Every structure is written in structure tokens, then in C-alpha cells.
Amino acid sequence: MHPALYLGSNRMSDDSLPSQFTAEVEARKKLILRNLQEVLGADKLEKQLATPGKLVHVYWGTATTGRPHVGYFVPMRKIADFLKAGLKVTVLFADLHAFLDNMKSTWELLENRVIYYECVIKALLMSLDVPIDRLHFVRGTTYQLSKEYTFDLLRLCGQVSQRDALRAGAEVVKQVESPLLSGLLYPLLQALDEQYLK
């Protein structure tokens, strides 16, 4: 038996949807949520999946700081689930983030890595027999160097404390004794990316 769907304060029972449609929504939801450590907004997801013609969009970002390795297979399996569930998936190649990560890479190297990453990711997903027609790639610098993005970043800098930025960056930037300012910008860039990739 399928649970009732809750849309805001309105309750929608399974009887209001055809059983085949409800079963399809439930199967897609199960595929999307499997093997996730944490789930926020499952009700919202269910509502979006149940809306005819609604295309759910997710994004995954990676800083192109080194060669893709066997560890990339873990997120690729999840991306495969998203694609099999009919979601639109955008892969963000965070080349600006990679450049800011202690300046480990030159711009030329980053440009070549983006091309390489795209080839590797497509090959991995095709090896999993996943349709990639809803898979899209975006290079961060195509919008992150725009006037609007820069203005939004500066506005965000005026609203986030150094302590909060440092704490948020601790999960994604290697911590050193004397952190560079770029490490503080990193989580702010990630927050803006979510808005700009919608």
C-alpha cells in the first residue's frame, strides 16, 4: 500500500491519482532516494514527481582539481539513478572553484580537464547502460565571471560571517593553518551555483 501524498497543508490520497501513476511515482521516488545518507524535502519531491509534465532538475558539482579516479564511480551510480528516474541532471564543472583551491591548477590545465571529465563521465554512465539524453554539462566560468554573479557574490559576502564561511568551507576546502581568502569564498560560490543552475 502506498502512503498518502501530502502537498503543503492539503492531503491528497492515493485515490485521487490513477494507481498506475501512483506506482510509477513511487518507483521513481524510490530510485531517486535509494542509498542516500540524508533526505530533505521528500514531500516536495513526491509532489514534483506526481505533477504531470514536471521535469525535476538536480545538479552535481565537481571541482576539476585532478584526474577522475575510481571514487567517481560512487556519484556516477547516483547520477545513473537520477537519469533512470527521468530527472534532468546538470553536472557542474567548477573550474573557478578548482582554480581558487590553493591555485593548484593553471587555467589551461583546467580547460583541458573539463573536456576530459566530460568524456569520462559520459563513458562511465554509458557503461552503466544509462540514457544520457537528459544529462547536461556546465562549466562554472560560463556564468561565474558575469557581472550579475559577481554582484550577488559581493552581496553575499556582506551577509555571511567569516566564522560561518570558514566552518562551511571546512567540508570542501583543505584546511591549513593560515587559510586563504579563496577558501572562504568557496562555500559562497557553491550557494550561488545552486541558484544560477536552476
The yes-or-no verdict on residue 63 having pLDDT over 50 is yes
Q: Which residues contact 46 (CB under 8 A, 6 or more apart)?
A: 5, 25, 29
106 φ, ψ (degrees, to nearest 5): -85, 160
Same-domain pairing of 1 and 98:
no
Same-domain pairing of 30 and 112:
no
The yes-or-no verdict on residue 78 having pLDDT over 70 is yes
- Position 11 scores a pLDDT of 35
- Position 2 scores a pLDDT of 26
| CB of 134 closer than 8 Å to CB of 170 | no
Strand pairing of 88-93 and 5-7? Answer: unpaired
Same-domain pairing of 141 and 45:
no
Give dist(CA 55, CA 51) in Å, integer: 9
Give dist(CA 115, CA 98) in Å, integer: 14
Same-domain pairing of 5 and 41:
yes
Same-domain pairing of 146 and 92:
yes
Same-domain pairing of 142 and 91:
yes
- Position 21 scores a pLDDT of 63
How many domains does one find in the chain? 2
Same-domain pairing of 124 and 167:
yes
The yes-or-no verdict on residue 93 having pLDDT over 60 is yes
Mean local confidence (pLDDT), 52-78: 90
Mean local confidence (pLDDT), 78-90: 96
pLDDT confidence of 6, banded at 50, 70, 90? Answer: very low
pTM: 0.81
- Beta partners for residue 135, in sequence order: 89
The yes-or-no verdict on residue 31 having pLDDT over 50 is yes
For 17-30, the pLDDT digits (tens) are 555 568 889 999 99
CATH no. for residue 94? Answer: 3.40.50.620
Mean local confidence (pLDDT), 150-158: 97
Q: 25 is in which domain, residue-wise?
A: 1-54
Same-domain pairing of 180 and 100:
yes
Same-domain pairing of 97 and 145:
yes
Q: Which of 54, 70, 89 finishes a domain?
A: 54
Percentage with pLDDT > 70 across the chain: 85
Q: Which of 54, 71, 90 finishes a domain?
A: 54
